[in-house]
């Protein structure tokens, strides 16, 4: 049979928030496995330590207290099935926990405890993305410009618009677009 203690310090709640998570409609469980030599109040921390978080968004004080009592009772009911492992777990209650059937609460809690206290395995090796996809040296820079071309950078780092027109013709193409009026696009008559 597993003994379940209470989480009391804020730092323990924050540490559990960085661990694994399990979500249901009625609650979210966050947990982490403790290191072997961790101390709590001068004594070695052993077994499960559980904390509850029930925010004001859930309801009035009487509703929050009722949810807390229901979750505590569910924890007591599943304590003998709980894994015997050194872990910190935080249960974040949601409003449906107030009216959910008690058997469903117990089932959610069993699944949450087994999921959150599962040791992490090695991360699978992920194949790195090609350089072009992650913005490496082979990746295209810039985006489309108002003239319809793409933007490229010169060796000095300045942005330069490319229109797709050969270099010898690019000078005349730019002067013709600059000589037009902004309102109707007509030329100056030169």
Q: How is residue 53 written in tokens?
A: 């978080």
Inter-residue contact 128 to 100 (CB < 8 Å)? no
Q: Which of 134, 67, 124, 121 is nearest to 95 (CA)?
A: 67
Which residues are CB-contacts of 148 (< 8 A; sequence separation ≥ 6)?
163, 164
CATH 3.30.70.100 assigned to 4-116: no
User: What stretch(es) of the chain map to CATH 3.30.230.10?
Assistant: 4-116
pLDDT per residue as tens digits for the range 16-41? 888 889 999 999 999 888 877 777 77
Q: How is residue 59 written in tokens?
A: 């309801």
Containing H/E element for 5? strand 4-6
Tell me how far apart the alpha carbons of residues 74 and 72 are, in angstroms, rounded to a whole number.
5
pLDDT for 16? 86
Q: Is the pTM of this model over 0.85?
A: no
- Among the ranges given (26-40, 42-56, 79-93, 152-166), the one the predictor scored with the smallest mean pLDDT: 152-166
pLDDT per residue as tens digits for the range 80-110? 877 778 888 899 999 999 999 999 999 999 8
């Amino acid at each position: 049979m597993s003994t379940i203690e209470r989480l009391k310090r804020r730092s323990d709640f924050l540490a559990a928030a960085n661990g694994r998570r399990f979500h249901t409609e009625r609650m979210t469980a966050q947990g982490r496995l403790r290191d072997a030599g961790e101390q709590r109040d001068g004594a070695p921390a052993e077994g499960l330590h559980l904390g509850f978080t029930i925010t004001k968004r859930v309801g009035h004080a009487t509703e929050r207290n009722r949810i807390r009592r229901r979750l505590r009772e569910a924890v007591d009911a599943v304590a003998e099935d709980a894994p015997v492992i050194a872990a910190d777990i935080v249960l974040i209650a949601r409003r449906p926990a107030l009216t959910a059937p008690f058997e469903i609460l117990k089932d959610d809690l069993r699944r949450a405890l087994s999921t959150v206290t599962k040791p992490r395995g090695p991360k699978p090796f992920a194949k790195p993305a090609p350089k072009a996809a992650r913005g490496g040296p082979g990746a295209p820079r810039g985006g489309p410009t108002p003239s319809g071309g793409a933007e490229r950078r010169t060796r000095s780092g300045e942005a330069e618009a490319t229109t797709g027109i050969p270099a010898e013709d690019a000078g005349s193409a730019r002067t013709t677009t600059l000589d037009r009026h902004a309102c109707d696009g007509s030329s100056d008559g030169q």
